Amino acid sequence: MKQRNARAARRRSFSRGKIGTLLALAALAFFPMPCAAQQPEPSAAEPTVSLRYYGEIGCDHCDSFMSKDLPAAERAAGVRAESEAVDILSASGYAQCEKELAARGFSFKIFPVLVIGNNVYQGNSAIEANLLPELRYFAQRGEYRPEQSRPAEATKPEGGKTRGLKNLAIVPVAVAGLIDGINPCAFATMLFFMSWITLRGGGRKRVLSCGLAFVAGVFAAYFSIGLGVSGLLRTASAFTAVKAALRFAFAGLAAAFAVLSFVDAARARAGKASAMSLQLPAPLKKAIHKVIRDAARDGKPASPAVVVSLFFVGALVSCLELACTGQVYLPTIAYMVQTDGNVAPIAWLILYNLAFLIPLLTVLVLCVVGIGLNRVRDFFARNLFLGKIALGVLFAGLAILVWVS
């Protein structure tokens, strides 16, 4: 009996041992223990090339370079590239590009710009011709390609566009700003503001300081709005479908405004200026007049409190007027974004807004030197027809420029 019990105990112990061994083998199969033999041998470091690419966000060719051309060249050369893409149409990106080129003894001619090792390549043709040779040279020798011969300063940019012709792209921006400044919305508001300032008295010094504060507020608000809108449009244009939709929308909008401007010109000629379509709605007019009337009232002429308050009044009024002046501003910004210009976007916006202020500053100067506002108002009313014709021509030109740029 004891012997049978002992044999049964040994069988149970052996079975438990077999089960434990099987569980252990299964655990090793699914969760292998690390061992020195399983560690891979360290491989040689893959050659890495550093390059910087200055291009336009939303540009089809630029997007193709980063997503297709560069990876294909990496594979063909057997080298890895650490690339940095910089938006050359931003103020900081353009300044960075100019600074880097100047440090290497180059002048900026055309974008995109590729900086790799000892060389700088400007324009799509130069980049496409030299990207793969640069990467292969580095893969074979472990160092950057020597500096290649520099192009002559008079080299004509690709596509037949000279730098002078490209700079002419800013002309429509200046013209648009100037015509927008004589827009009935902005011009009439400035006349109302100057009338209010004059009635408060205080002499020419007060009129001049208050007028300059108001105009400075208008400039600050318009410039800030333009900077934000242009950045938003450039970011949205990174998507090809969105870029095409924006081009169609702004070109169509400008064309519609051109037709309405010509219709308004006919109404102005017939003495029906109050029936014009492109003007501020009555509630916005009342709101603007209320903002101006409720501005800080200080008995001291040109006191700091008055000057500061009128700066903010100008900024607020310009935001309210955007429903009317934005009809010119927004298509012009779309043209800036679409244009392949080599001027920093901040310069385009400054130019537009300075041109926009010329008519407003003219009213201020006339008021300061003693020209009656009634004479200025009568002159504007007599030439309202011509102003609307000018706006119509401007809108038609912007529609074409936005579409083809």
This prediction's pTM: 0.57
Of 131, 161, 166, nearest in space to 145 by CA: 131
Distance, in Å, from the CA atom of 159 to the CA atom of 163, rounded to the nearest integer, reads 11
On whether both 65 and 195 belong to a single domain, the answer is no
On whether both 261 and 371 belong to a single domain, the answer is yes
On whether both 280 and 142 belong to a single domain, the answer is no
Out of 116, 151, 186, a domain closes at 151
Q: What is the DSSP letter of 271?
A: T
C-alpha torsion 46→51→55→58, nearest 10: 20
Task: Answer whether residue 346 is part of any domain.
Answer: yes
| Integer angstrom CA distances of residue 404 from 244, 254, 327, 335 | 11, 13, 20, 10
Task: Answer whether residue 279 is part of any domain.
Answer: yes
Strand 48-55's sheet: what is its strand order?
A: 80-87, 48-55, 113-116, 119-122
On whether both 175 and 324 belong to a single domain, the answer is yes
Q: What is the pLDDT along the chain (405 residues), one digit of tens a residue?
A: 545 544 554 555 444 554 555 444 444 444 444 443 343 343 445 678 888 998 876 655 556 777 888 888 888 888 888 888 888 877 788 888 888 888 888 888 777 888 988 889 988 888 888 888 888 888 888 888 888 766 544 344 444 444 444 556 778 888 888 888 887 777 778 878 877 777 766 677 778 888 888 899 999 999 999 888 888 887 776 666 777 787 788 888 888 888 988 888 888 888 877 777 777 677 777 777 777 777 645 445 556 776 788 888 888 888 888 878 888 888 888 888 777 544 456 888 899 999 999 988 888 888 888 777 677 777 777 777 888 888 888 888 888 887 876
Task: Answer whether residue 42 is part of any domain.
Answer: no
387 Cβ partners below 8 Å, 6+ apart? 182, 183, 184, 380
Task: Answer whether residue 347 is part of any domain.
Answer: yes
On whether both 334 and 394 belong to a single domain, the answer is yes
The pair of three-digit structure tokens given for residue 150, joined into one six-digit string: 């520099």
Domain total of the chain = 2
- CB-neighbour burial class of residue 170 (10 A; exposed 0-12, middle 13-18, buried 19+): middle
**Phi and psi for 102 in degrees, rounded to 5?**
-65, -40
Distance, in Å, from the CA atom of 68 to the CA atom of 388, rounded to the nearest integer, reads 49
- How many Cβ atoms sit within 10 Å of the Cβ of residue 80? 15
Distance, in Å, from the CA atom of 125 to the CA atom of 127, rounded to the nearest integer, reads 5
Task: Answer whether residue 156 is part of any domain.
Answer: no
User: Are 116 and 107 spatial neighbours (Cβ–Cβ below 8 Å)?
Assistant: no
On whether both 135 and 177 belong to a single domain, the answer is no
Structure confidence at residue 221 (pLDDT)? 92
Span between the terminal Cα atoms of the chain, in Å: 105
Structure confidence at residue 107 (pLDDT)? 83
Structure confidence at residue 313 (pLDDT)? 84
On whether both 196 and 337 belong to a single domain, the answer is yes
Distance, in Å, from the CA atom of 197 to the CA atom of 200, rounded to the nearest integer, reads 5
**Phi and psi for 183 in degrees, rounded to 5?**
-55, 135
Residue type, 327: Q
Structure confidence at residue 91 (pLDDT)? 78
The pair of three-digit structure tokens given for residue 388, joined into one six-digit string: 């609307």
Out of 98, 120, 151, a domain closes at 151
Compute the C-alpha angle 190/196/197, nearest 5°: 90
- Residue 77: CATH number of its domain: 3.40.30.10
On whether both 120 and 187 belong to a single domain, the answer is no
Residue type, 254: A
The pair of three-digit structure tokens given for residue 135, joined into one six-digit string: 């990467």
Structure confidence at residue 192 (pLDDT)? 80
Of 75, 46, 71, nearest in space to 142 by CA: 46
On whether both 103 and 230 belong to a single domain, the answer is no
- What's the alpha-carbon Rg for the chain, to the nearest Å? 34
Task: Answer whether residue 30 is part of any domain.
Answer: no
On whether both 121 and 168 belong to a single domain, the answer is no
Reduced to 3 states (helix: H, G, I; strand: E, B; else coil), residue 144 is coil
Distance, in Å, from the CA atom of 247 to the CA atom of 402, rounded to the nearest integer, reads 6
- CB-neighbour burial class of residue 132 (10 A; exposed 0-12, middle 13-18, buried 19+): middle
Distance, in Å, from the CA atom of 361 to the CA atom of 35, rounded to the nearest integer, reads 82
Task: Answer whether residue 3 is part of any domain.
Answer: no
Structure confidence at residue 26 (pLDDT)? 46
143 Cβ partners below 8 Å, 6+ apart? 137
On whether both 254 and 332 belong to a single domain, the answer is yes
Question: Strands 80-87 and 48-55, how do they pair?
Answer: parallel
On whether both 134 and 168 belong to a single domain, the answer is no
The pair of three-digit structure tokens given for residue 71, joined into one six-digit string: 């990876």
Q: How many CA atoms lie within 13 A of 254 on its CB side?
A: 26
Out of 104, 124, 151, a domain closes at 151
337 Cβ partners below 8 Å, 6+ apart? 89, 230, 233, 234, 237, 345
Question: Strands 113-116 and 48-55, how do they pair?
Answer: antiparallel
Residue type, 218: V
Distance, in Å, from the CA atom of 353 to the CA atom of 226, rounded to the nearest integer, reads 9
Reduced to 3 states (helix: H, G, I; strand: E, B; else coil), residue 185 is helix
* Residue 188, domain extent: 164-404
Task: Answer whether residue 300 is part of any domain.
Answer: yes
